Amino acid sequence: MTTSSVNGTSSAYLSYSDNVLSTGAQLDSRDQQTGRSTPSQQSGSGYPLPDQLAGGQPTQDRLLGYDLRARTSREGMLKIQVLRRRAGRSPTKAPPTGGEGGIASLNAVMKPPVTSLPQPFHPFASLPIALRHYNALYQPSVENNNEYLFQTRRGHEDWTGCLGSTQYIQSVAAQSGQDLMAASSEVVARLEGKQGEDVRQRTAAEMSDLQLRYAYAGHVPLANHVEMPERNWDDGQHTPREAARSIIAELANRFSTPFRPLGERYGAPVQFVGVTTEMGAPAELGAYDDDFFTHYFGIQRLHRTGDYRSDDYEIFDNNFGAFRYANFNQLSAALTADFDISAPRSGRVRFFGLDSQAMIHVRQHGLSDLNLGAVGGSYGIPLPAQPGGYATLTPPRADLPRPDWDQPGPSWRDELKKRSTDTAADTREGALYRPSAVSPQELKAHGGFNGEDTPLRNVNLDLHDSAVARDPHNSDGGGYLGTYRSAFTAQQKMPAKNGYIYDVAPSPNMVDVSGSLGAHARNPAQGEVAAMGRIDYNQVRGWWQMKNGEVGNYTANPDYRWDVYDQTSTAGAQPQLAGFAGDDPAWGDTLHKPFIGSTSLRDGKTIYTPKQDPDLTQAQFYGHALEKIQALANGQHYAGPVAIRAKDGWAGGAFGVLTPLSGVNDPLAPGGSSGAPHDRVGVRNTQTPDQDAGSAIITPDGRIEFTDPSYKGSVMRPDSEGFLYADSRGNSTGDKSGSFHYDTDHHLVSNANGQRVTYDANGYAQLSATRNPGPFEETKSRWDIVDRNGKTVTPAADPRSYTDNDAGRAETQYRFEQDPDSVLPSGTTSFVTGVPSEPDYASFKDWLVEAPRGSGPRIHAWLKHHNAALLYRDGSYVVPGESGELKLYNLDGVAQTRVLGEPPRTYRVPDALWVQMQNYTNKRVAFEERNKPV
């Protein structure tokens, strides 16, 4: 018995022994049977009670902490191949015209109805409406199994809702190559304890887990299937017959036309479709006019013929079991009758939608089964496991001072209370909001929100946009987790009246949804920014609790890693991640065309072939986002508590830190009389230091702010003689006297006059006016900046230390050094520091003079294929032109037309940043080489 799982929990109850797996091989012979299961085998059916409808709200949230990894047993793969061999490879005929609704005639062959439903049954089986529903599905069928999964059955408890049970059975069918009828019989056998009590309990728990996890967000990933984005759903008011007609028309379209995932050579035939309906509750249940219920059932095309009209189909409804139909017309008759019977007191269907899973015939891309959660390890960035069972790059830090704000300001809460559609910018740049029914305690226990169980083949921004747009209370889908720029929008998307609005910091795995999809975004006014894969708990700044729709006070998250996430930003628009189908004309527009390598005409449609395997594109994006977070967590642009330690000093300075020296009499104290005590700053030997001695934070504006209790909030500032002392911070943003920057040679340099921080023979710190110090003075002006563990870190740069030069404006240089991706030119996805098999050059000028013949076309072809910009050490870069030329720009994106004869450029990418970008390039190239498509 092998072990496999639909949600990644390795367990025997999802295994298939040889006798179970052989069920799939018996499908052909079972199809020849003339025997039909009778209603006496039925154990009941039913509908949710009105008070159940108003019960606990399942959450749409995706929590960290589940070890979700797609697994497929070898036996299951063999059975899927058996099922595939039955499917015709000839093109499917287009949907026919004529007949009611222009789809198919409803003159179906009908069996006689049954007159009663047997015992045992659930509470509503005795109602006439239950019998009518059963007959609607039963009469057009050729076979059924009565294996329903709703409520009490043979003494066992209620197992799950309609969505959890249906998706579980679909996953079993996809994994083992069975049909819905065989899969539902197998699952019921487990639930009835025929395979042991442990199997029964685990199966019930997993079904309930699916009900909660996917109640609002997508579909459980099916083995060897890819989920399709949806553009057709309806949230208007329709009669049941109108809704049935629309659903039948859409089913005909999907089952007749293979889905073409971007980059796949072969079309993927649709095999499973889930149907969601929302309508008024039937009057027979004693419901009021405004009561409604939502139901989910599954349909499977068995792909035994090449024509969808003559193929076999099955429906699984957890109220009644599985039913098989001899052709599409019989299926249509069952759906029409079932919807007619569902007519509520109001006579209207409020919403219906479909989710579709297409079967992958030929696996071209080895990465398609890799879950997002495994990308980090595959990319070389394993996420350390935490005590709670989850993994993160930014675990809580007990030594990190709490943020110096308790809440972000009254306007944030006021914005939640407004009742308008104002989408103006929030009061603080980078403010993002996420609605959730999950409590902060639960969120912390799981480490945050998680969509990392999604395999790369189903990571799809267009799919996410579809899932969010069609459900007014859903924010997740397609491997992405939704956040919104407007707190009011987040409140409107809240899945329940009680919950939380989370204040989330931006991160590099977040993308602008409408900016990435362009004109094809379904609801651009929502201002959604979606996170691929995960939102860490320590990325959450705080939250507002909502009770009965009312917004409470703001609570700051004490575990917020401001030292990391105050430095991060989103990735902005990423059109290469759009995820449109391979035959979607959206790829032909200006925004998305740069990522298409070629086009071809097939069956009258333009087929777009991307330059790069889409799974590889997504994995590289996610891996790069993780490595950027890792760099910040490891001390790049560090904003946490530090000690400034003398690097090469003397008289004990090698182990000394810069700190206030309390109680020193200083006759030169500013504003005081001669001999007044004054808190001078100097080097203290720390071989036996106080715990907080020397603790400081280097603020974004270059202030060295002391954090030890006696001097908390004071900053280092020079007096008139250049000696440094601890003083109040002051309020003047234009005052540079207490502002410093840390240069690449380990100097602390005053932003006011360019002088370096050093210390005298007594250890008192001062500014040195010596522009060219000798070796002795130089040793005393070099400093290491370390965290409390003694690890060397690099403080964030002060934007005021930059000046305009040939690389670009000062502001652009600062943004580039904080995040090089922030200045990427349009149509590119990455900077690279070199091209494989080509020599490296310090500048474009050097390349022009020294490059061997043929280098230019090779570089052009590689850059164009990878949508990359080649960066040089002097801050210039080249991109491929449309006519085979290389175009040179500076960081501002200004074309550089004169190169030869010009003096050397003054700018130089800092050493540490250049090494980091070289590592990024090497890792990206190596990952691509390891994961070439078959």
For the domain that residue 648 is a member of, what is the CATH number? Answer: 2.80.10.50
Better pLDDT: 534 or 742: 534
Contact 141, 324 (CB under 8 A): yes
Q: pLDDT-based confidence at 212, cuts 50/70/90?
A: confident
Kindly write down the DSSP assignment for every residue of 454-488, as one continuous string.
SBGGG--HHHHHHHHHH-TT--EETTEEEEES-HH
CB neighbour class for 307 (10 Å; exposed up to 12, middle 13-18, buried from 19): middle
pLDDT at 459: 95
Please tell me whether residues 569 and 656 are part of one structural domain.
no
Whether 701 and 739 have beta carbons less than 8 Å apart is answered as yes
Same domain? For 260 and 312 the reply is yes
Whether residue 604 lies inside any domain: the answer is no
Of 780, 796, 812, which residue is a domain's last?
A: 796
Beta bridge partners of 476: 481
Of 651 and 222, the structure prediction assigns the larger pLDDT to 222
pLDDT of residue 136: 93
Residues 787 and 814 in one domain: no
pLDDT given for residue 422 in this prediction:
36
Q: Are residues 716 and 821 in the same domain?
A: no
Note whether residue 595 is domain-resident. Answer: no
pLDDT digits (tens, 9 = 90+) for 390-427: 889 999 888 777 765 555 543 333 444 433 333 333 33
- Find all residues with CB under 8 Å of 587, minimum gap 6, and list them: 262, 578, 580, 593, 595, 596, 608
Q: Is residue 550 part of a domain?
A: yes
Same domain for 868 and 779? no
Question: Is there a single domain that holds both residue 677 and residue 762?
Answer: yes
The two structure tokens encoding residue 641: 């508590």
Same-domain check for residues 449 and 509? yes
619/391 Cα distance (integer angstroms) = 18
Together in a domain, 858 and 902: yes
What average pLDDT is seen over the chain? 78
Residue 64's pLDDT band, with cuts at 50, 70 and 90, is very low
Confidence grade of residue 702 (pLDDT, cut at 50, 70, 90): confident
Range picked from 220-234, 837-851, 920-934 for highest mean pLDDT: 837-851
Instruction: Indicate whether 140 and 273 sit together in one domain.
Output: yes
Q: Which domain holds residue 924?
A: 802-930
- Which of 740, 764, 796 lies at the terminal end of a domain, its last residue? 796
Q: Domain check: are 756 and 783 in the same one?
A: yes
Out of 752, 767, 796, pick the residue that ends a domain.
796
Amino acid at 649: G
Distance CA 25, CA 4 (A): 20
Pairing of strands 830-832, 783-786: unpaired
How confident is the model at residue 622, as a pLDDT?
Answer: 97
Structure tokens at 758: 């050093």
Q: How far apart are CA 633 and CA 813, in angstroms?
A: 22
- For residue 473, give the nearest of 462, 460, 484 by alpha carbon: 484
Whether residue 599 is contained in a domain is answered as no
Q: How much of the chain exceeds pLDDT 70, in percent?
A: 74
Q: What is the pLDDT of residues 743-761, one digit of tens each?
A: 878 899 998 888 999 988 7
| CATH code, domain carrying 572 | 3.90.210.10
The CA distance from 44 to 158, in Å, is 13
User: Which of 331, 277, 321, 333 has the alpha carbon at shortest distance from 301?
Assistant: 331
Q: Is residue 379 part of a domain?
A: no
Q: Domain check: are 57 and 201 in the same one? A: yes
Query: Do 192 and 208 share a domain, yes or no?
Result: yes
Q: Is residue 368 part of a domain?
A: no
Residue 111 maps to a domain: yes
Q: List, as one string, the DSSP characters of 867-927.
A: TEEEE-TTS-EEEE-TTS-EEEE-TT--B----TTPPPPS----HHHHHHHHHHHHHHHHH
CB 291 within 8 A of CB 53: yes
pLDDT given for residue 588 in this prediction: 96
The answer as to whether 561 is a domain residue is yes
pLDDT digits (tens, 9 = 90+) for 99-135: 333 344 458 899 999 887 755 555 555 567 788 888 9
For the residues 805-830, what does the mean pLDDT come to?
95
The DSSP H or E segment spanning 234 is none
Q: What is the pLDDT of residue 673?
A: 42
Give the chain's domain count: 4
pLDDT for the residue 243: 86
